[in-house]
Structure 1
Amino acid sequence: MTSQNPSWRVGAALLVVAALGALPLVAPSVSPDSSSGSAPAKTGRTGWHGAWAASPQAPAEPFGPNWSLRGFADQTVRQVVRVGVGGTRARIELSNRYGRTPLRITGATIARTDKGASVSPGSVRRLSFGTERSVAVPVGGTVSSDGVPFTAGALEAVTVTLYLAEPTGPATFHTIASATSYRAEGDHSVDTTGAEFRETSGSWYLLTGVEVSGGPSARRDGIVAFGDSITDGVGSGVDRNDRYPDELAERLAAAGRPRSVLNHGIGGNQLTRDKAWAGGRGVHRFALDALTEPNVGTVVVLEGINDIGADRQGAADDPTAGVSVDQLVAGHRELIRQARARGLRAIGATLTPIKGSRYDSPENEAQRDAFNQWVRASGAYDAVVDFDRALSDPADPDRLLPVYDSGDHLHPSAAGYRAMAEAIDLDVL
């Protein structure tokens, strides 16, 4: 991976992560309390590692038409994802968190990706659920398939295909995939050519995880990247896997230390307030999304710019005005508490520049600066990564460096996401 940082910025990009002490990576057998949501304690040592993940969202069309509101009936959905770590067995996770009725999966397969909707001949593996080919996922529930022999390497693309014979109703999904999903009429779950997959979408549907076992690592060394649209990868390329968690996984693999970097960012998500279409407030969904991943040792938190910026926008679905820095800090302390209760190390990230964006105002900039100073100086997190300084323009530190700006002065470009990944000291992980 070649850096696009100007040479004089490399030192600044790497200066900001400082370990403040490691915690013992032993997961207690307690569940999160009611203030944190409810989730099974999967973060201890198991035979499985998360290889890819996406946080579920309620059916909605915040950024244009998709398939979530209508759902599926006698249709096959094919989705391509890149795994961060390899193994010799695989299983998938499906979510009906926001469904209104039980979700019937009639058939599911996993295969090695060829090109587009096509898969490599001979690589298709049928998936079962408790030895059955079909499964009903209860309302609000999640289900994992049985493991199947399936060899995949780190950073390899795999294709998951779901056949949905019965009407699903509105479907749980992930809005911004920065990837192409495919749909066909009827059952094409074992097709290899992809010729029948004539419809496409820019979201992921029902699929929230791919896990592997039998890989080179038996350690509890997975990483969760938790946050909003900047973690989600808004501004990155479609089907290019250049979000910052992707770039971090590439750095780790290039250094001979491949491990999963699981992306639990949601565009529009706030830490302290619920938004109907953006996955629920971060202090609640953290337990459901980040803390349910197996064999994770570290979480990187980048969250809060939407809490600050939503007041500027005055959106109708943000009825509570005036999130203060103290409230934002309290939310981050709650995430740290939850992470440590599960034996995870927590890395805090500073909020990136917003000058010139729709969030720009003197009041918001003052809040961003005050929060970033707390992250840097408080010692609350086990380590800090200073994304703010890594991306800022030295001539105007409140603004993204132009090469790191996707164009809206809020979301990084592909080069900006690389700079974020490079700002993380791999030894801290």
Structure 2
Amino acid sequence: MIKRSRAVAALAGLGLVATTLVAAAGPASGGLPPRWVGTWGTALTAPSLANTGSSLNGFADQSIRQLVRISLGGQQVRLRFTNAYGTGPLSIGRASVGLPVAAGSPTLQPGSIRPVTFGGSASTVVYKGAEVISDPVDLPVAALQELAVTLYLPVATGAASWHWTARQTSYVYAGDRAGELDGSGQTAAYNHFYYLAGIEAFTPTGLGTVVVLGDSISDGSGATLGANTRWPDYLAGRVTGTWPALGDPGVLNVSLAGNQVTRDGQTLNSPALGDSALARLDDDVFSQPGVRTVFVELGINDVHLSGYPADRIIGGLRQLAVQAKDRGLRTVVATLGPFEGYSSWTPEKEAVRQSVNAYLRGDNEFDALVDFDQVLRDPAAPTRVLPAYDSGDHIHPNDTGAQALAAAVPLWLL
């Protein structure tokens, strides 16, 4: 394991060449029995007062069909549902998982629907603040396959636990549609996830998971809707081609747009931004099945939203590293990218960003660094995003920029 961040940043600049050479000498996991490994995950938050149509009012006698793309494949899957931010018990009347006829389609392939059960029952109750894990589902899945998870919610749910920037369309229907192939007739379509917190795959090749703990850069603001072009999606695509050298890790993206290291979204009257990263370590990182590495991409919102000084942000990042390593996890951190031209940029905030990046590039508590600032910045104007990578708002990368970020991660770090 390389501990000097500058050395790791230099290797990141070598891209796939360095990755391939080291990965080829890595451990294989052949001969090990199958195990449950996280293959998809998201972070859920409290409802928003501004979103009365779904997150605050919830659902009643309605079905939600959610489309997600997993990372690694397996022989079976099981699903995790949460009522972490509900105001009372959540009744799941029926649930299913199936395969879309095409990417992004709510219509499913004939014969692909599988019922999801809980202790052998088609229904379950998820109590306030709790979560449930389904029984294993006999549905072999391939790496990078898209799944459709349908939940029928027979009684009024009240406020929903949700992810507000899914970059993926979820479809809402009247009544029970969990057993229906046809995805037409929806009454609403939202760019959110609801209640679904994770999917696990039963696999003989997956040795663990990589959890990306980030903000909107990782959550996909600026990415094409429904195209799975967030940078962790591209990273998952790279990882799936490395078996057996890397042990086929799953990639779980628990990033939240607007998330900060040291401040809760609630204090900004925006609970959908989530609890601070420090507050959500236990639920969103440490509890993930088979987690081995946490990739931290955070801090820019502490700078531009809250205007915090560098020492506060550095102290928070240091705690993320210390607490993750105390759990035996490998820690990788990204520098803070450029944002001049964004509405909140000031020279004073730029100085804070540079100070935080100086800390990250030096000797610190993290095991490794990937220099996202170096990847994204315009060499002719280093405080700005390279125009070819700019989604248009001067802070978030577009699909090409996201692909460049993923390509800069040496896979052997994972």
**2:284 matched residue in structure 1:** 289
1:58 to 36, 46, 51: 46
Q: Where does residue 317 of structure 2 map in the other structure?
A: 332
Aligned partners of 2:298 and 2:336 also within 8 Å: yes
Q: Percent identity?
A: 40
Instruction: Flag the 1:65–1:416 CA change in 2: closer, same or farther, 3 A.
Output: farther
**Misfit runs of 4+, over 6 Å:** 16-19
* Matched residue type, 2:175: G
For residues 219-276 of structure 1, what are the alpha-carbon distances to aligned partners after superposition, in whole Å with 9 as ceiling and x for unaligned?
23x1111111111010001110000000001111234454311101101111101112
**Within-5 A mapping of 1:374-393:** 374-393=359-378
1:81 has 2:68 as partner: yes
| 1:141 equivalent in structure 2 | 130
Partner letter of residue 410 of structure 1?
A: I
Tell me the residue number matched to 2:177: 188
Contact 1:46 1:294 survives alignment (8 Å): no
Deviations 1:161-190 (A, max 9, x none): 000000001111000000010011001101
In structure 2, stretches of 5+ residues that fail to align are 1-9, 20-32
Q: Please show how residues 80-229 of structure 1 align to structure 2 within 5 Å.
A: 80-115=67-102, 116-213=105-202, 215-220=203-208, 222-229=209-216
RMSD: 2.1
Q: 8 Å contact 1:16–1:386 — kept in the other structure?
A: no
Q: What residue in structure 2 maps to residue 305 of structure 1? A: 300
Question: Is this contact kept in 1: 2:97–2:147, CA < 8 A?
Answer: yes
Give the CA deviation at 1:16.
Answer: 8.9
Task: Verify the 8 A CA contact 2:94 2:122 in the aligned structure 1.
Answer: yes
Pick closer, same or farther for the CA change 1:339–1:12 going to 2, 3 Å: closer
What is the match of residue 263 of structure 1? 253
Return the alpha-carbon distance in structure 2 between the equivalents of residues 212 and 388 of structure 1: 34
Q: Shift in Å at residue 48 of structure 1?
A: 1.1
2:13 match: 14
Secondary structure in structure 2 of the residue aligned to 1:148: coil
Q: Distance in 2 between matches of 1:192 and 1:263?
A: 28
Moved more, 77-86 or 288-297: 288-297
Contact 1:188/1:196 (8 A) holds in 2: no
User: Which of 371, 380, 384 is the equivalent residue of 1:395?
Assistant: 380
> The residue matched to 2:160 in structure 1 has which SS?
coil
What secondary structure is seen at the aligned counterpart in 2 of 1:151? Answer: coil
Q: 2:265 aligns with which of 238, 253, 275?
A: 275
Over residues 60-105 of structure 1, what are the superposed CA-to-partner deviations in whole Å (9 max), with x where a residue is unaligned? 166x675111110000000010010000111111111110011111
Match of 1:314 in 2: none
> What's the CA shift for 1:359?
2.7
Aligned partner of 2:27 in structure 1 is none
1:389 partner SS: helix
Q: For 1:300 and 1:51, how far apart are their aligned partners in 2?
A: 16
Q: Kindly provide the CA deviation profile for residues 171-214 of structure 1, in whole angstroms up to 9, marking residues without a partner as x.
A: 1100000001001100110100112334211101111111111x
Q: Residue by residue, what CA displacement relative to the aligned partner does 1:309-350 show, whole Å, maximum 9, x if unpaired?
A: 113xxxxxxxxxx52211111111111122112211000110
What's the CA shift for 1:296?
1.6
Matched positions, count: 382
**SS of 2:95 mapped into structure 1:** strand
CA positional deviation for 1:56: 0.6
- Residue identity opposite 2:41 in structure 1: A
Asked whether the 8 Å contact 1:357–1:410 carries over to 2, the reply is yes
Distance in 1 (CA, whole Å) between partners of 2:164 and 2:49 is: 8
Structure 1 pair 61/117, CA: closer, same or farther in 2 (3 Å)? farther
Structure 1 gap segments, 5+ residues each? 1-10, 20-44, 312-321
The aligned amino acid for 2:47 is P
Q: Structure 2 residue aligned with 1:348, among 333, 349, 352?
A: 333
Q: SS at the partner of 1:48?
A: strand
Deviation at 1:47, TM superposition (A): 2.5
Query: TM-score, normalised on structure 2?
Result: 0.88
Name the SS of the counterpart of 1:146 in structure 2.
coil
Match of 1:72 in 2: 59
Partner SS, residue 347 of structure 1: strand
CA contact (8 A) 1:16 1:385 kept: no
Cross-structure match for 1:35 = none
Give the match's secondary structure for 1:427: helix
- Give distance in 2, aligned partners of 1:158 and 1:330: 39
Please tell me whether the aligned partners of residues 72 and 206 of structure 2 are also in contact (alpha carbons under 8 angstroms).
Answer: no
Kindly provide the amino acid, as one letter, of the partner of residue 280 in structure 1: D
